[in-house]
Amino acid sequence: MNLDEPGAPEAQKTASAVGDWLSATAPAAPDAAAAPSGLARAATVQDMFDLAAPEVKPVVARLVPVDGKCQSIEILHGEDVTKIGRSKDLPESLRLGSMRLSSFHAELHLAPATNVVTLVDTSTNGVWLNLARVTKGSAIELSPGDSIRLLNPASKDDDGPRFEFLFQQVRPKASASSLVDELTCSICKCVYYRPVSVIPCLHTFCGHCISAWIKTGAGDCAECRSKMREVRPSHKIASVVADLIKAKPEHAKSATECAQLDSENTIPAVGLVLGKRERSDDGLGSDDEEDEEEDSDSDA
């Protein structure tokens, strides 16, 4: 991606902010053989999105052991539920070796859109939060510095681990309200519905909004006016929107609205090519392009 192109720095800034809440796992690129020729370069497009939202699972929060006799427990972006206990079915990083614990002792639920972590007791013997026993099955939101004990605080075991942790919020929480601003289409002024991104500037719009814009004959981005080469569905941003809707259902569309907007959306699932990609992107110069045109003329 050429960051010197019009609108690119602003788009990268917005994409970076949204990236804090994006799903870490990106969908597979469309099969190049089945896609239009301009979309066969999906890897290049994906690279641009990955620059804003790398395909990793960063640590959102962790439980830090107080006595150092067991490992820290990390809550990763992209993992909505983290289970801890002594079960051999759990990953080693989440397995706690004590017969005093249940096989699945507790769950840590992560809200991807806001980075809020909640604690759920799934044990037989109980979980304590700040010395108060957690009601089994209820979800309690955690705050930095909270003390979590997987064993009764009154129990004594000088040799074994205490399984007492302090909650550390690594990535800051975000309110759903602040996300609304980040996820609002600049054309319709509503939360994105079936978001698509313009290539190469990466500005995002609702699919039906940019479809209407293209229908007018416009070839420039509706926000920065740079030349549009392609328009592609943004699965990562759609995932964040879905999480936002769960937190703020008032932004959800009705079934009737969805049907109407879907009928107005002309962007295919594999994306839409609007103009030729500069030949320099493929390492081809203007002479190569002229040769191709001459070959095409001779075939005719």
Residue, of 38 and 184, whose pLDDT is higher:
184
pLDDT digits (tens, 9 = 90+) for 88-108: 999 999 999 889 999 999 999
Q: How far apart are CA 218 and CA 294, in angstroms?
A: 29
Average pLDDT, the chain: 79
pTM of full prediction above 0.75: no
pLDDT digits (tens, 9 = 90+) for 224-246: 999 999 999 999 899 889 888 88
Residue 86 has pLDDT above 70, yes or no: yes
pLDDT of residue 73: 96
pLDDT of residue 34: 36
pLDDT of residue 165: 96
> Dihedrals φ, ψ of 75, to 5°?
-105, 115
pLDDT of residue 155: 78
CB 126 within 8 A of CB 152: yes
Residue 28 has pLDDT above 90, yes or no: no
Q: How far apart are CA 139 and CA 209, in angstroms?
A: 39
Q: Where are the domains of the chain?
A: 8-55+177-276, 59-169
Least confident of 28-42, 45-59, 116-130: 28-42
Terminal Cα-to-Cα distance of the chain (whole angstroms): 35
Q: How far apart are CA 200 and CA 229, in angstroms?
A: 7
pLDDT of residue 113: 77
Fold match between domain 8-55+177-276 and domain 59-169? no
Mean of the pLDDT values across residues 165-169?
96
Residue 284 has pLDDT above 70, yes or no: no
Pick the closest to residue 107 from 156, 140, 147, 70 (CA basis). 140
- Tell me which CATH code domain 8-55+177-276 carries: 3.30.40.10
State the burial class of residue 254 (Cβ atoms within 10 Å of its Cβ: 0-12, 13-18, 19+): exposed
Residue 42 has pLDDT above 60, yes or no: no
Q: Is the bond preceding 30 in cis, omega lying within 30 degrees of 0? A: no
**Class for the domain spanning 59-169:** mainly beta
pLDDT of residue 137: 92
Least confident of 138-147, 157-166, 249-258: 157-166
Mean of the pLDDT values across residues 263-274?
95
